[in-house]
Structure 1
Amino acid sequence: MATPRNAVRVAGATLLATALLAATPAGAITSENLARLRQDSQFTTEENLRANFDAEDFSVAIADITPTTTPQGAIVSGGLENLAVFGLSSVDSSFTRFTLQPGAHNLAHTHPTASETLFSISGTMDVFFVEANETPRLVQSVLGPESVTVFPEGLIHGERCISDEPCEFISFFNTGDPGVVTVSERFCDLNEEARAAGLFLPQDQVNAICNGLGDNPAPNQPENGQRVLNDGPAPAVLAAQATPTPTPTPARRNNNRRNRRGNNGRSRGRGRRSRRS
C-alpha cells in the first residue's frame, strides 16, 4: 500500500501527465514535457541521478585526493565514500592508487564485495592471493611494469615491492563500495583467547604482537622474522621476543597434533584422545 507521501506524488504525476497530454496533440509529447514527467515521477532514473552532478564530477585528479602515507608508501582511494558519482549504477566502480617503497608491503587484506584488477605502472612486485578453505593454496606471481593481475572477490591477497625502485600501481574494483578488511588489524580486534588460539601462542605474546602492529603500507620483513617498524622494532615486540616460550612436553605436543586434526573436522583424532583419556 502506498504511503501518503507516495500517493501524493503519484497523484501529482498523474495530474501533470493528464494536463500535458491534453495540451498536446496525441503522440506529440515534446522532449521538454517528457523531461518534466521524468523529473516528477516517483521513480528515479539514472538520467535524473546524473543530473545531480556537474560535468567536473565525472573526472577526478588523483593529486586532489588526500592520501594515506607512511615512510613505506602512499594509498589514494576513490569510490563511493568520497566520490559519489562512482555509486551510480551505470558507473559502480572504484579505484586505489598505491606507491610502495622498495621492500614495502601492502598488508594482506580482503575486499568483501569486489574483485580487483591491478595494473602495474612501475617497479616489480610479488603478488599473491589465498584460496578458500575448501581448496587451500597460495597463488603467487611476480608482476613487472605494465602488467595486470586479478584478485577474486573476498579472497585474502597482497603485494610486496621487490625491486630497487618504488612500485606504483592502480587497482580497479567492480563496485563503488568494495570495502577492505586488513587481516592483521581485524584479527587483533578479536578477544585475547581467540587471538591466542588463532596463532597457537600464549596470550601475552600475541597481545605484544598486536600492540606492535604498524601502519599500512608496512616495512619489509627481515629474514629472522623480526617485525621492524619505521624506527626499529617496537618495544612490545622486543618484550615478546625476550619472553621464553614454554617447551611442550612430548604428551602435550601429541595432544596439539590431535587438536589440529580435530579442527580440520576429522573425528579420528578425537577418537584417539578419548581412548587415551
Structure 2
Amino acid sequence: MAPITTLLFIALVSFNVVQVAVSSDPDILTDYVLPPNTTAPDANYFTYTGVRSIVNTTYPEKFTVIKATLKEFPGLLGQSVSYAILEFPVGSINPLHIHPRASELLFVISGSLQVGFVDTTNALFSQKLETGDMFVFPKALVHFQYNANSTEPALAVSAFGSASAGTQSIANSVFNSTIYEGILAESFNTTSDIVERIEYGLRG
C-alpha cells in the first residue's frame, strides 16, 4: 500500500488559513496564554510534532485519528483552533458522533469519503467527497465519515474552531453508559435482549 507522503504537510500549511470562522472559545486579551506556573516560553511551546508518525508510513488496519488538540498540544491554549488527521483504510468508518464545542471543517487529501450530518429537523445532508473537496459539519450535530471505496484508502484533515472541540460517540454514549436497559429498550421501541446484544457488540 502506498505510503502517506509529504502532501499532508502541504495541505496542513495551506489549510491553516481556512480556520473555522466562528469560534466557541473565549477571546483572549494577550498574544497567547501560558499554563499556570509557566513563564518565558520558547518556540518549542508553539510546536507540535505528533503528526510525524504518519509520514511515509502505510495506512493502519482500522480507522485511526491523530489529534492535535489542547490535550496533546498545550500551545493551543486560548487559540480557538485544533486539528485531527483522519486515516481511513478501505471500507472503514468514523461512526456517528458529535463535537459539542465546535464546528468541523474537513478536507479530503487523498481518496474519497461519503460524509453526512443530521440536523435538528432530522434532515440528512450527505455528500460524496473526492480528493481536494471540503465539507463543514455544523457544531454539535450528529455526523459521520465513511470510506466506501473497495480498493483505495482515504486521508483527511479536520480543523475545529476550538482548542478542545470534544468528541462524543453516539453509540458508546448510549449503549456503553450505565443507562438502565429498560429505559434504552423503551426509548428505541425494542426489547432488553436486543439492547444487551448491542452493548455486547460494542464491548467486543
CA contact (8 A) 2:32 2:77 kept: no
Q: Percent identity?
A: 25
Aligned to 1:85: 75
Q: Is the counterpart of residue 168 in structure 1 residue 155 in structure 2?
A: yes
Shift in alpha-carbon separation, 1:202–1:145, aligned structure 2, 3 A: same
Whether 2:102 is the aligned partner of 1:114: answer yes
Q: Does 2:201 correspond to 1:201?
A: no
Question: How big is the shift at 1:80?
Answer: 0.9
- Residue 190 of structure 2 aligns to a residue whose secondary structure is coil
Shift of 1:168: 0.6
SS in 2 for 1:126: strand
How many angstroms does 1:102 deviate by?
1.2
Larger radius of gyration: 1
Paired positions, count: 165
- TM-score w.r.t. the length of structure 1 is 0.55
String of CA shifts for 1:180-213, please: whole Å, max 9, x gaps. Answer: 1100000111221121123221101211111111
Distance 1:101 1:207 in 2: 29
Q: Which has the higher strand share?
A: 2
- Identify the match of residue 49 of structure 1 among 22, 33, 37: 33
Q: How does 1:249-268 map to 2 (within 5 A)?
A: none
For residue 82 of structure 2, what is the aligned residue in structure 1?
94
Match of 1:129 in 2: 117
Matches within 5 A, 1:224-243: none
One-letter amino acid matched to 1:211: Y
Moved over 6 A (4+): none
Which amino acid counterpart does residue 136 of structure 2 have in structure 1?
V
Q: Distance in 2 between matches of 1:162 and 1:49?
A: 42
Gaps of 5+ in 2: 1-27
The answer to whether the 8 A contact 1:102-1:166 is kept is yes
Tell me, which stretches of 5 or more residues in structure 1 are unaligned?
1-43, 215-233, 235-277
Q: Is the 8 A contact 1:87 1:93 kept in 2?
A: no
Letter in 1 for 2:70: L
- State the alpha-carbon separation in 2 of the partners of residues 97 and 203 from structure 1: 38
Does structure 1 residue 138 correspond to structure 2 residue 124? yes
2:166 corresponding residue in structure 1:
179
SS at match of 1:121: strand
CA contact (8 A) 1:125 1:162 kept: yes
Match of 2:141 in 1: 155
Report the aligned-residue RMSD.
2.2
Q: For residue 64 of structure 1, report the CA deviation from its aligned partner.
A: 5.4
Residue 213 in 1 paired to residue 202 in 2?
yes
The structure with more helix, counted as a fraction of residues: 1
User: How many angstroms apart in 2 are the aligned matches of 1:48 and 1:114?
Assistant: 20
Contact 1:53 1:85 in 2 (8 A): no
Instruction: After TM superposition, give the deviation of residue 124 of structure 1 in Å.
Output: 0.9
Query: Deviation at 1:82?
Result: 1.6
TM-score normalised according to structure 2 size: 0.74
SS in 2 for 1:72: coil
Instruction: For 2:90 and 2:53, locate their aligned partners in 1 and report how far apart those are by CA, in whole Å.
Output: 25
Please tell me the residue identity of whatever aligns with 2:74: A
Which one-letter code corresponds to 2:139 in the other structure?
Answer: E
